[in-house]
Amino acid sequence: MVEGLQSPVPVAGRLPVVLQDDDFLQRFTGALDDMLAPVYLTLDSLACYFDPQLAPDDFLEWLCGWVGIEPDQTWSTQRRRDIVARAAAVHRWRGTARGVAEAVGLVVDGEVEVKDSGGSAWSPAPGGNLPGSATPSMTVVVRASGPVDRSRVERVIAAVKAAHVPHTLEVQEVGK
């Protein structure tokens, strides 16, 4: 119950007219209104719980888990909100170089570049040399403007890259 919260749909107003003058029923339904008012308030604002920019701070933690983000306790609340908001778009590109770059970009301050060995390739001439390499590989270069938790970045890369592609991580500190 929330002190002073009024129900948007009072039960007493829905009683038959004959019963609306009964003092006992007015008090009884008033207690129901006090109990149901927070439920109505929650249901009326349910969409706000799923918007990362509007969600309460404690619910934001749940949203992080829902979109597969392991929150860092050093992140500000606003940074968490921004990361959760961008996470859905990152999932669309999962398994691609762009997806890896965007996912790593969520957890580091700085520029991220992903170099991969290729993918599918073709040659305009029969029997010509194919671009890229036959062995899949990926190099993730992070030009960080702040501290980088390598183990966290490694976990992010492993979670979003194609499972069969080995990767290496290069961290370059810039701007110090």
Give the strand pairing for 138-144 and 167-173.
parallel
Residue 70 confidence (pLDDT) above 90: no
At 172 the pLDDT is 92
pTM for the model stands at 0.65
Spatial separation of the C-alpha atoms in residues 159 and 70, rounded to whole Å? 11
Give the C-alpha separation, 55 to 80, whole Å.
Answer: 11
Q: Which of 3-7, 30-34, 136-140 has the lowest mean pLDDT?
A: 3-7
pLDDT tens digits, 80-104: 999 999 887 888 898 899 999 999 9
Answer yes or no: is pLDDT of 105 > 80.
yes
Q: What would the mean pLDDT of 27-41 be, rounded to a whole number?
A: 89
Task: Name beta bridge partners: 111.
Answer: 143
